[in-house]
Amino acid sequence: MQALLAHPNVVAAVVALAALLLAAAVWGHRRLRTAHVQPHIDWKAVQSFNGEYYRPLERILGEDDYCFLQRLPGYQPEIGEEFRKQRRKIASRYLDRLEREFHQLHLLARALVRDQERDRPELAVALVRSDAEFRWNLWKVRLQLSLAALPLPESVLRPVSPRGLVDAALWTQAQIWLLHAQAATTAA
């Protein structure tokens, strides 16, 4: 016991690490246990996902309207600032909704692949990839929005396209239809 008490820092660090990892293990256990409960899926939302709804996002994130505003007589930098601020808020709301809808679609797609009777490694990998790409693209767009709030030179603030985000959601929705059609055919 004395040997342990002689190194309180090492012991404290290992105990803290143990507590952290134990908490993570317990969290994992609880999540795995509740996986038995069918995740809440809003079927209507899954079905009604429409990529067209997010079409304005590209324009909101783009520079065209801002450039147009700058050319108007009586334009002042404060007006431009206010315009950009409002656009950032609107874009952020669009992105929040898109993220929610994508996660709902993706969860359902993963659950459908999981329940397949036939091994579908290509689809599992494609789902993982689309999820990673969506997260990465979303992070880039959000970062760009955050940077736009800072006084940085315009060359740094290149507009980013949200098209990849919407495409990923549409692709996931198509996979759900295809997987469901296959399941229905098998059942018939």
DSSP per-residue codes, 55-74: HHHHHHHSSHHHHHHHHSTT
> If binding is defined by CB under 8 A, does position 10 make contact with other proteins?
yes
Check residue 156 and report its DSSP letter. Answer: T
Q: Does 174 bind other proteins (CB under 8 A)?
A: yes
Query: The tokens 């980013």 sit on which residue?
Result: 160
| 71 belongs to the binding site for other proteins (CB under 8 A) | no
Asked if 156 interacts with other proteins (CB under 8 A), we say no
Nearer of residues 71 and 118 to other proteins, judged by Cβ: 118
Nearest-5° angle of CA 47, CA 117, CA 182? 40
Burial class (CB in 10 A: 0-12, 13-18, 19+), 68: exposed
Site string for other proteins, 41-60 (x = CB under 8 A): x-xx-xx-------------
Footprint on this chain of other proteins (rule: CB under 8 A): 1-4, 6-7, 10-11, 14, 17-18, 21-22, 24-25, 28-29, 31-33, 35-39, 41, 43-44, 46-47, 107-108, 110-121, 124-125, 128, 174, 176-178, 180-181, 184
